[in-house]
Amino acid sequence: MIFVGIGSNLAAPGYSSPQNTAEAALAALPGSGAALCARSSWYASEPVPASDQPWFINAVVEIGTELPAPELLARLLALEARFGRERSVRDAARTLDLDLLDYDGFRCSTPDLVLPHPRLHERRFVLMPLQEIAPQWRHPRLGLTVAELLGRLPSGQAIRRLTDSTEKSR
């Protein structure tokens, strides 16, 4: 299973909201060589680390692809740029964030790619949507289920599930 986290807290140029931006990016995934297999609900979450920037819209998707992990990551980064993502300051507000979370349990650590994502187990805004579409998933390095990882999180990281106007896919 290949999982990608999606987030936005600024509307991209030409889009009315961060959620519209994120939905458009998901619709563009097939053009980047990735087929959408499942999508969690949308969630609203406070920025991590805490700041005064707008809350994020987040979801996790399961995709299918024939691309190797480095090429998939390159295409995800190109899609971010297409939606106006500018990388300036770490943890800054952004129009689109696409994180390659897990690629079939593959483990690697290079300057350009770390798998599984090095902070996914610390982020409620990743784990809650991931649990929705893959409750049986285990962290490739830690061996823990999503529920076990959620149980280890400290309090904080406010998040709420949004009511979807479209039914989630599975």
What positions carry a catalytic annotation? 85, 94, 97, 99
64 φψ region: left (φ > 0), alpha (ψ -120 to 50), beta (else): beta
Contacts of 120 (CB under 8 A, 6+ apart): 5, 99, 101, 102, 126, 127, 130, 139
Residue among 115, 161, 110, 118 at smallest CA distance from 1: 115
Cα separation, 11 vs 16, in Å, equals 6
Report the amino acid identity of residue 63: I
Q: Count CB atoms within 10 A of the CB of residue 164.
A: 12
Pairing of strands 35-39, 97-103: unpaired
Q: Are strands 56-64 and 43-45 parallel, antiparallel or unpaired?
A: antiparallel
